[in-house]
Structure 1
Amino acid sequence: MLPIYMAEKIFYMIVAPIGVPINLLAIVILSRGKCGLSSCTTCYLVAMATADLLVIITQAILNKISYYYFPVCFLDITPVCGINAVLVPVATDCSVWFTVTFSFDRFVAICCPKLKTKYCTKKTATLVLTITGIFLVSKNIPNYFTNEPGVIIDNVPWGCKQKPTTFTDPRWVGYNWFHKVLMPFLPFILIILLNVLTVRHILVASQVRKGLRGQNKGENHTDPEMESRKKSMVLLFAISGSFILLWLVFVVIFLYYTIKGLVYLTYFEFTIQQVGFLLVDINCCTNTFIYLVTQSKFREQVRKAVAYPVSLIIKLMNKQNN
């Protein structure tokens, strides 16, 4: 087995046991609404954690771990394999595009005060996430019809291999290009653009407010609005920055072999591509740690969640002793 495959085999056995519980923990704690975040922000973060959890389940567990540790199982039956070929990109697309919608929401909240009161609401967030999710599911349904059985044993189709027509039929070629533009090129560019515009607005607004409050003359004033913006900025830039860094390798290699029109990759190119995939999957485990570092109330809720079963066990032991 190639070294990269050995690394993948070990990697996913580490990522899955970590990614599932930490995303479940984030979903439960954020859903309770006791982290000091607005209902709008909470809605986006819960959606992102749910999408990340689905990526871990579909990609890491149903796709990779089953391939390495259960090479022949019901998941290899062609219809099931075809469904998985839809679920994996749906989960990945939702994880990425929910990050885009969150970045846009924070851009509006920080840079567009007049629009903020109407757009940055739980109702709008729910509507945006629902429409985005429905669109992404619809976009990936055709993936089910791109595969055909690899072999038929006792009238049971096994395996999924891509139909030759998907490479030559203009409709499939157009669909593939549509898919490539929406993932990962467009969301990557949008997140960078939104963050650049947000930083630019913050720098300009900060200078203006300092001038108005006399800070440029050496006076020391606290600015509640700027403190509130600072907390929002830290969360936004931590999540967006992590996303950009972990997706960068995949996007670069994707653009490289797309522009050059490569069909067959050298071993080095293939290795870099696989490293990009691994980093993308790590991105589905980072947000909870970001919340722990940047959100004091989230840390407090985690401590309570961890302490509760311990205290419960102690109470039960004391009852038994009595």
Structure 2
Amino acid sequence: MNGFFLILWWLGKKTGRINGSKVPKFTNRCETLYVSYYVLLGVVGVAPLNLVAIVVLSRGKCGLSTCTTRYLVAMAAADLLVVITEVILWRISWYYFRGSFLNITPVCRVIYLLSRVTTDCSVWFTVTFTFDRFVAICWQKLKTKYCTGRTAAVVLATSCILLSSKNIPFYFALEPVYTIDNVPWDCVTIPAAFTEPGWVVFDWLDTVLTPLLPFAVILLLNALTVRHILVASRVRKRLSCESKGENGTDPEMESRRKSVILLFTLSGSFILLWLVYVIDFLYYSIAGINPTQYNDSLSNFEQVGQMLRNLSCCTNTFIYGVTQSKFREQLTSAVKYPFTSIIQLINKQNN
């Protein structure tokens, strides 16, 4: 990870045409805090969290079904790509690698497009996972056909293709800030994006699809899942009491309980971390304010919303560890593996 940052710094030094200062100058403490936050998020969010989650889950030894594992791996991979594109290539590069090839307008547009696509995938993979768990818990007849590894792969691939197509207009929503020797540099949102009806409708459609509609779908599915579990729990307890005369341990209900804990923790974290971002969107849309003209207070509120939104891409691994005992066991084994291998190699050489 440190090597990746060094490569970007070297490229910026070689191709730098803008802002010759090598040390970034931040205008206030808030900006310094934002930059420090994104650097920490970029370093921690890539290797220690999402990469480890992908490796551990891909081994298939966490006691999860193939279907669930594919959804969780896809979510971790999407989160990893969000950290790379949105946090490292878009935000960190803006402060630390000014004048590098990343700031050339066509490259800048591609990075922004990729950040939008990966963010949408991260959100909608959470929705598809929620729906999969809803089917597995509430629709037993459909479960055998829908909750399979093949279906999960088809759903994830289709979602990715559709979301990529939906975000193509974002490439054309940016324009260069200035041109040097016929080379366009930097990206800024075109003014028409805030005024022309077509762009305004697209902005609303984009925010409805991510994250307003996911909010509604997740809350609805979770409510239906809770209702079904409560009804099923009462029925199974009644039957258990009639057959055994006492409340015995029910493996089926225990399995459902663990699934629900994982489901609710993931979806709850998603809703809480996106909430400030949604409030900010509703505010500037209803008030008719251009976000580029925010005062300091509103600008800080907007930044906090974006920071929390990006943080949601680094929380899933922690959630897996808190809710899944077998994931913790595999994670511990993965951390210990290099050390145990070195110790075994040393003992072998000594013998």
Bucket of the pairwise TM-score, normalised by the shorter protein: over 0.9
Mean Cα displacement is larger for which, 182-191 or 85-94?
182-191
Quote the Cα distance in structure 1 between the aligned partners of 2:190 and 2:34.
27
TM-score (norm 1): 0.94
Q: Which residue of 1 is the match for residue 101 of structure 2?
A: 74
Indicate the residue corresponding to 1:27 in structure 2: 54
Partner of 1:8: 34
Alignment partner of 1:107 is 2:134: yes
Structure 2 residue 161 is the aligned partner of structure 1 residue 134 = yes
Structure 1: runs of 5+ lacking an equivalent? none
Q: What pairs up with 1:101-250 in 2 under 5 angstroms?
A: 101-214=128-241, 219-250=246-277
> CA–CA distance in 1 between the matches of 2:236 and 2:302?
46
> How far apart are residue 175 of structure 1 and its match?
2.1
Q: Deviation of residue 319 (structure 1)?
A: 5.2
2:86–2:112 contact (8 Å) kept in structure 1: no
Shift of 1:293: 1.4
**Per the alignment, in what secondary structure is the counterpart of residue 184 of structure 2?**
strand
The answer to whether the 8 A contact 2:60-2:69 is kept is yes
Change (3 A) 1:176 1:248: closer
SS in 2 for 1:87: helix
Instruction: Give the equivalent residue in structure 2 for 1:270.
Output: 299
Q: How does 1:43-62 map to 2 (within 5 A)?
A: 43-62=70-89
Secondary structure, counterpart of 1:213 in structure 2: helix
Question: Which sits farther off after the overlay, 82-91 or 243-252?
Answer: 243-252
Pick closer, same or farther for the CA change 1:109–1:56 going to 2, 3 Å: same
Distance 1:153 1:36 in 2: 57
Deviation at 1:8, TM superposition (A): 0.9
Report how far residue 4 of structure 1 moved.
Answer: 2.5
d(CA) in 2 for partners of 1:236, 1:307? 29
Deviations 1:3-61 (A, max 9, x none): 32111111012111111011011111111111100000001000000000001101111
Q: Tell me how many residue pairs correspond in the alignment.
A: 322
TM-score normalized by structure 2?
0.87
Identical-pair percentage: 61
Aligned-residue offset at 1:315: 3.3
Report deviation, 1:168: 4.4
Q: Is this contact kept in 2: 1:4–1:274, CA < 8 A?
A: no
Q: The residue matched to 1:178 in structure 2 has which SS?
A: helix
Q: Indicate if the aligned counterparts of 2:270 and 2:312 stay in contact, CA closer than 8 A.
A: yes
Q: Deviations over 1:109-161 (max 9, x none)?
A: 11111111111111111111010000111111121112222111111111112
Q: Which residue of structure 2 lines up, in the alignment, with residue 41 of structure 1? A: 68
| Aligned twin of 1:90 | 117
Structure 1 counterpart of 2:317, one-letter code = T
Residue aligned with 2:179, SS: strand
Between the aligned partners of 2:191 and 2:278, the Cα distance in structure 1 is: 26
CA contact (8 A) 2:117 2:163 kept: yes
